[in-house]
């Protein structure tokens, strides 16, 4: 991955500072010796970088107790438990989950609020998030400082501006969510907004089922079907931030109408509405979907057939993704994870029959390592990105944030 | 795009040297003042880097004649016409094209050889390329030095090893082309092999219709249909190098059988065989395909309908690509470029009807800026990559290459 700009010597320290903090953040506590090996820098450089991070209030150093006193002790560097934290928020159709997440990925406090009807307007949702943020801040040590906010949304999100271009199930169009939330939480606070499938992919790549894998697809399937794609370690975003709409790969030009305006999109074959329709159920909701899976497990003929049909189309979809992306892993999340659990053989058989052999042989199909929390954890990682890129810039941001929230 | 390794000060000079040579390579001659602005480095650093490249025999400097003598002259830095060159090769089903390409993208010599029947074996093809390389070397100044070879192949290519995993129309499987060519041309010579669509995308991005655009898809459609994808400036490769097989997106599980083993792949709807079948023509070859286009232009009813049908499916395919990748441009090459010329309105109408609006509004559909040479030029760029990453390492490589070819 070639950098396309010139490197100036003064950038090196910042780059290396961010790299060291990133290792601590992802791996948890590490000895100085381990950091030396991981970063390929010498001991004194590592010592200097660690001192900087200690002064910034981000990490703490200690000599492990009970250690053999004969050798030179290797200091352990750990995230400070009362150090900076981010607010991670997952907006779903039925609920809002908010959590304070510290360096190292530790969840310090968490709150879940159901929403319905009127509560789904942008105004009501941002109001609720502000309440939850206050509630959470009250449960943390006084020295903890909020350094950023990351929000996961079931919709397409503009790349630089945090505008929800379209969230079909929230019925949002052109909602400037980042700006609305900044106005509620403090104008100086960095608010980042991402698509739920993109953030699921990010989290599974950094902390879940795809750690160490650089070519990964996260398929997030519930009412809608979205995809988050990591290619050579980088998130596939597209020019405007709208890439990954794998639910809108066209299968059949004369197929069922799709909310996107086209017909026969993959979503109309593997989304929850297709499952419920195949099972002969008219109402649409999480309970009904759970009911179909429960009936299928109990051997109900119609439910079994419905899950089988969705699994067949899911396998065909995954074969297409294997051919287009040649990934190491496809992680199937949302309610489609249950389809994978119930009908893995059907899905694998379709991939075997339809994916090109070279790409087929290197892909695994997995359920999420982070359970149903992938998008929430992804939101926290999104919020940490600015600080991990330039830790030395954050004392300023810290004071501003502290005065507002 | 975060670097994931630590930066050492000694790497900076190499990085900046490569960056400067890259600018000269892509933009042609530049004044020192322009280089200062482009790289954001000071005059003396630029002066030092240029001196290094002059000593390496890669560039030359001169004061432009007829220039106003009042001001301080700004030296012009230009690629050396007798400097290092690469051998770019495009292997096609019907012919081999070989060219000597210098820094700046100048084609110094070029040879085209038809192949057929027995001539398509890996042994025959590599033998022919070795002959062409000798013929070409004989037409260049004695001081010109071959620094690498880039080869474009219509097939899937292993990412690190230059093995043709599958080239259906050459009937190649598991052909270690890079190794075979090294054995013919000189074991120390760097031979890089790429998929034709990937290299088409690379060339159009660097020198063709997509200069300045970082999210681009090159659709290469002839007998087979492949895709080369540039996402945020980086080539999408997949873990093994097999990404981009957009011809094998499944449309219809009960559709026509495909050589890949599946049914109803996009290739079976928009590949040349589909066009010929729709036009009622039994023989398969470039002349027959050209004949259908000529008949369509003359208003032959059946040919017009055949092109229209392929255009309709091509538009639907592009809508899927718009939804999945959110690119700024899709470049349609191969014989599909002619379908685009004849039936653009049909294609754009399908994209309008089926792509999601936010992504639709930012995409242009283009014909190649490099005509039919995209993959050949891409092969030359592939061959230049090692030298552009570390120009200072190349005097050694130069001497080795010189002694062999």
Domain boundary among A79, A97, A132: A79
Whether residue B3 lies inside any domain: the answer is no
Q: Do B362 and A240 touch (CB under 8 A)?
A: yes
Question: What is the average per-residue pLDDT within A286-290?
Answer: 95
What is residue B197's predicted lDDT score, i.e. its pLDDT?
Answer: 98
Size of interface A-B (CB pairs under 8 A): 201
- A-chain residues near B42 (CB < 8 A): none
Whether residue B101 lies inside any domain: the answer is yes
Q: Do both A229 and A321 map to the same domain? A: yes
Q: Do both A135 and A192 map to the same domain? A: yes
For residue A21, is pLDDT > 90?
A: yes
Under the banding of pLDDT at 50, 70 and 90, the label for residue A64 is confident
A14-23, A281-290, A318-327, B134-143: which has the highest mean pLDDT? Answer: A318-327
Q: Do both A193 and A218 map to the same domain? A: no
What is residue A229's predicted lDDT score, i.e. its pLDDT?
Answer: 98
Burial of A68 (0-12, 13-18, 19+ CB in 10 A): exposed
Q: Do both B25 and B108 map to the same domain? A: no
Q: Do both B241 and B318 map to the same domain? A: yes
The β-bridge relationship of strands B234-235 and A145-153 is unpaired
What is residue B117's predicted lDDT score, i.e. its pLDDT?
Answer: 80
How distant is the alpha carbon of residue A70 from its chain centre?
45
Q: Do A234 and B234 touch (CB under 8 A)?
A: yes
| Minimum-distance CB partner of A239 among B238, B260, B327 | B327
Q: Do both B384 and B299 map to the same domain? A: no
- B-chain residues near A234 (CB < 8 A): 1, 231-232, 234
For residue A3, is pLDDT > 70?
A: no
Whether residue A206 lies inside any domain: the answer is no
Question: What is the average per-residue pLDDT within A4-16?
Answer: 76
Question: Whole-structure pTM over 0.90, yes or no?
Answer: yes
Q: Do B354 and A246 touch (CB under 8 A)?
A: no
Identify the residue with better confidence: B67 or A45.
A45
What is the C-alpha separation between B168 and B175, in angstroms, rounded? 12
For residue A374, is pLDDT > 60?
A: yes
Whether residue B206 lies inside any domain: the answer is no
Which helix (H) or strand (E) segment holds residue B339: the answer is helix B336-354
The total number of residues shown for chain A amounts to 405
Residue B262 near residue A353 (C-beta atoms within 8 A) = yes
Identify the residue with better confidence: A320 or A69.
A320
Domain boundary among B32, B47, B79: B79
Q: Do both A323 and A254 map to the same domain? A: yes
Q: Do both A327 and A392 map to the same domain? A: no
| Minimum-distance CB partner of A231 among B6, B236, B248 | B236
What is residue B2's predicted lDDT score, i.e. its pLDDT?
Answer: 43
Tell me how many domains chain B contains: 3
Neighbours of B284 (CB within 10 A): 12
What is residue B404's predicted lDDT score, i.e. its pLDDT?
Answer: 42
pLDDT tens digits for range A231-284? 999 999 999 999 999 999 999 999 999 999 999 999 999 999 999 999 999 998
Whether residue A251 lies inside any domain: the answer is yes
Q: How far is CA B148 from CA A310, B21, B141, B250, in A?
A: 50, 16, 17, 38
Question: What is the average per-residue pLDDT within A354-360?
Answer: 96
Q: Do A250 and B251 touch (CB under 8 A)?
A: yes
| Minimum-distance CB partner of B358 among A2, A166, A359 | A166
| Minimum-distance CB partner of B6 among A2, A39, A244 | A39
Please tell me the distance in Å from A248's CA to the nearest CA on chain B.
Answer: 6
Determine the residue among A49, A235, A243 to mutate to test chain B binding: the one whose Cβ has the most chain B Cβ atoms within 10 Å.
A243
Lowest-confidence pick of A76-85, A136-145, B62-71, B245-254: B62-71
For residue A116, is pLDDT > 90?
A: no
Under the banding of pLDDT at 50, 70 and 90, the label for residue A332 is very high
Determine the residue among B4, B36, B211, B356 to mutate to test chain A binding: the one whose Cβ has the most chain A Cβ atoms within 10 Å.
B356
Whether residue A250 lies inside any domain: the answer is yes
Please tell me the distance in Å from B324's CA to the nearest CA on chain A.
Answer: 5
Q: Do both B42 and B73 map to the same domain? A: yes
Segment B163-168 long-range contacts (CB within 8 Å, at least 24 positions apart):
B164/B193, B165/A358, B165/B240, B165/B242, B166/A356, B166/A357, B166/A358, B168/B224, B168/B259, B168/B260
Domain of A20: which CATH number? 1.10.10.10
What is the C-alpha separation between B93 and B155, in angstroms, rounded? 11
What is residue B12's predicted lDDT score, i.e. its pLDDT?
Answer: 85
For residue A403, is pLDDT > 50?
A: no
What is residue A393's predicted lDDT score, i.e. its pLDDT?
Answer: 87
Q: How far is CA B73 from CA A187, B32, B61, B304, in A?
A: 51, 10, 12, 60
Domain of A293: which CATH number? 3.30.420.40
What is residue A144's predicted lDDT score, i.e. its pLDDT?
Answer: 87
Q: Which three-class secondary structure string do you get for chain A?
A: CCCCCCCCHHHHHHHHHHHHHHHHHHHCCEEHHHHHHHHCCCHHHHHHHHHHHHHCCCEEEECCCCCCCCCCCCCEEEECCCCEEEEEEEECCCEEEEEEEECCCCEEEEEEEECCHHHHCHHHHHHHHHHHHHHHHCCCCCCCEEEEEEEEECCEECCCCCCEEEECCCCEEEECHHHHHHHHHCCCCCEEEEEHHHHHHHHHHHHCCCCCCCCEEEEEECCCEEEEEEECCEECCCCCCCCCCHHHCECCCCCCECCCCCECECHHHHCHHHHHHHCCCCCCCHHHHHHHHHHHHCCCHHHHHHHHHHHHHHHHHHHHHHHHHCCCEEEEEECHHHHHHHHHHHHHHHHHHHCCHHHHCCCEEECCCCCCCHHHHHHHHHHHHHHHHCHHHHHHHHHHHHHHC
Give residue A42's domain range. Answer: 9-79
Domain boundary among A79, A101, A130: A79
Please tell me the distance in Å from B70's CA to the nearest CA on chain A.
Answer: 32
Under the banding of pLDDT at 50, 70 and 90, the label for residue A142 is confident
- What is chain B's pLDDT, residue by residue, as a tens digit (405 residues)? 345 566 666 688 899 999 999 999 999 999 999 999 999 999 999 999 999 999 998 999 998 876 555 666 678 999 998 889 999 999 998 899 999 999 999 999 999 999 988 889 999 999 999 999 999 999 998 888 899 999 999 999 999 899 999 999 899 999 999 999 999 998 789 999 999 999 999 999 999 999 999 999 999 999 999 999 999 999 999 999 999 999 999 999 999 999 999 999 999 999 999 999 999 999 988 999 999 999 999 999 999 999 999 999 999 999 999 999 999 999 999 999 999 999 999 999 999 999 999 999 999 999 999 999 999 999 999 999 999 999 988 864 444 444 444
Name, in order, each residue with C-beta under 8 angstroms of A393's C-beta and a sequence gap of 6 or more. Answer: none
Q: Do both B74 and B91 map to the same domain? A: no
Residue A319 near residue A355 (C-beta atoms within 8 A) = yes
What is the C-alpha separation between B34 and B180, in angstroms, rounded? 43
Whether residue A119 lies inside any domain: the answer is yes
Q: Do both B223 and B251 map to the same domain? A: yes
| Minimum-distance CB partner of B6 among A41, A252, A319 | A41
Q: Do both B252 and B194 map to the same domain? A: no
User: What percentage of chain A reaches a pLDDT higher than 90?
Assistant: 82
Whether residue A2 lies inside any domain: the answer is no
What is the C-alpha separation between B300 and B294, in angstroms, rounded? 9
Beta-bridge partner residues of B76: B31, B62
Question: What is the average per-residue pLDDT within A308-334?
Answer: 98
């Amino acid at each position: 991955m070639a950098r396309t700009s010139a490197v100036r010597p003064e950038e090196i320290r910042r780059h290396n500072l961010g790299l060291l903090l990133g290792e601590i953040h992802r791996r948890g506590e590490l000895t100085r010796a381990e950091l030396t090996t991981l970063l390929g820098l010498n001991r004194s450089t590592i010592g200097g970088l660690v001192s900087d991070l200690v002064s910034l209030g981000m990490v703490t150093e200690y000599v492990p107790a009970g250690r053999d006193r004969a050798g030179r002790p290797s200091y352990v560097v750990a995230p400070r438990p009362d150090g900076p934290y981010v607010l991670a928020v997952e907006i779903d159709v039925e609920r809002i989950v908010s959590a304070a997440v510290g360096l190292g990925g530790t969840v310090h406090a968490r709150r879940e609020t159901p929403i319905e009807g009127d509560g789904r307007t942008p105004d009501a949702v941002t109001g609720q998030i502000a309440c939850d943020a206050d509630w959470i801040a009250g449960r943390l040590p006084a020295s903890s400082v909020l350094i950023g906010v990351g929000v996961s949304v079931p919709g397409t999100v503009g790349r630089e501006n945090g505008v929800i271009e379209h969230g079909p199930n929230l019925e949002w169009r052109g909602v400037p969510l980042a700006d609305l939330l900044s106005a509620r939480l403090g104008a100086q606070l960095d608010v980042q907004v991402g698509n739920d499938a993109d953030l699921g992919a990010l989290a599974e790549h950094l902390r879940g089922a795809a750690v160490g894998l650089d070519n990964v697809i996260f398929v997030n399937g519930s009412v809608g079907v979205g995809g988050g794609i990591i290619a050579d370690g980088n998130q596939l975003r597209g020019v405007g931030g709208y890439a990954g709409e794998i639910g809108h790969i066209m299968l059949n030009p004369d197929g069922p109408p799709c909310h996107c305006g086209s017909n026969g999109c993959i979503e109309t074959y593997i989304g929850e509405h297709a499952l419920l329709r195949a099972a002969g159920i008219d109402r649409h909701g999480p309970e009904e979907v759970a009911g179909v899976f429960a009936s299928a497990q109990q051997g109900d003929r119609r439910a079994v057939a419905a899950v089988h049909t969705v699994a067949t189309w899911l396998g065909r979809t995954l074969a297409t993704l294997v051919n287009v992306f040649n990934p190491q892993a496809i992680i199937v999340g949302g309610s489609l994870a249950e389809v994978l659990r119930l009908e893995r053989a059907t899905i694998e058989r379709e991939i075997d029959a339809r994916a090109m052999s070279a790409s087929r042989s290197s892909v695994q199909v997995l359920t999420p390592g982070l359970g149903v929390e992938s998008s929430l954890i992804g939101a926290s990682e999104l919020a940490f990105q600015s600080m991990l890129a330039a830790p030395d810039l954050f004392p300023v941001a810290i004071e501003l944030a502290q005065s507002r929230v």
